[in-house]
Each structure stands twice: as structure tokens, then as C-alpha cells.
Amino acid sequence: MKQLFMLRGILVLGAVVLSPAIAYLGFTPMPGDFALGAGNQRVVVPVAYSLCASSGLALLYYLLKR
């Protein structure tokens, strides 16, 4: 149970950390992101970034664990 909690924490933290790095590369917005706008304000929720980062970190964690 503790390992599952740690893995989830690592994945969420990695997604939060890697999302701005991917956005800096100019892939914004990706298909699958939620874009909310009203007037002059626009908010993009990076769902696709989070899933990509989580998958990458899970694969890295799996490979390092072996």
C-alpha cells in the first residue's frame, strides 16, 4: 500500500514538474487539453501533458526498479 501511494505521488509530482517544460517547447495546447475562456482571460488545463508525463515517469520508475 505504501509503494502504491509513493508511486502515485511521484507520478503527480512529475506531471506537475514536466508540464511547464513541455509547454515551453511550444506544443500548446495539445489535443485533450481543456481550454476555458471568458473575456480577456484564458485558462488551459493540461490533461494531455499530465497523462504523457505520468506515463513517462511510470516507465522510468519501472525500468529503474528492475
Classify 46 as helix, strand or coil.
Answer: coil
Between 46 and 28, residue with greater pLDDT: 46
CA distance 64 to 25: 26
Rg (CA), the chain: 14
Domain layout of the chain by residue ranges: 2-65
Q: CB 50: neighbour CB atoms within 10 A?
A: 20
Specify the pLDDT at position 49. Answer: 74
pTM of the model: 0.46
The string of pLDDT tens digits covering residues 48-64 is: 777 887 888 888 888 88
Q: Say if residue 9 is exposed, middle or buried (CB neighbours under 10 Å; 0-12, 13-18, 19+).
A: exposed
Specify the pLDDT at position 28. Answer: 61
The string of pLDDT tens digits covering residues 4-29 is: 788 788 878 877 777 777 667 776 66
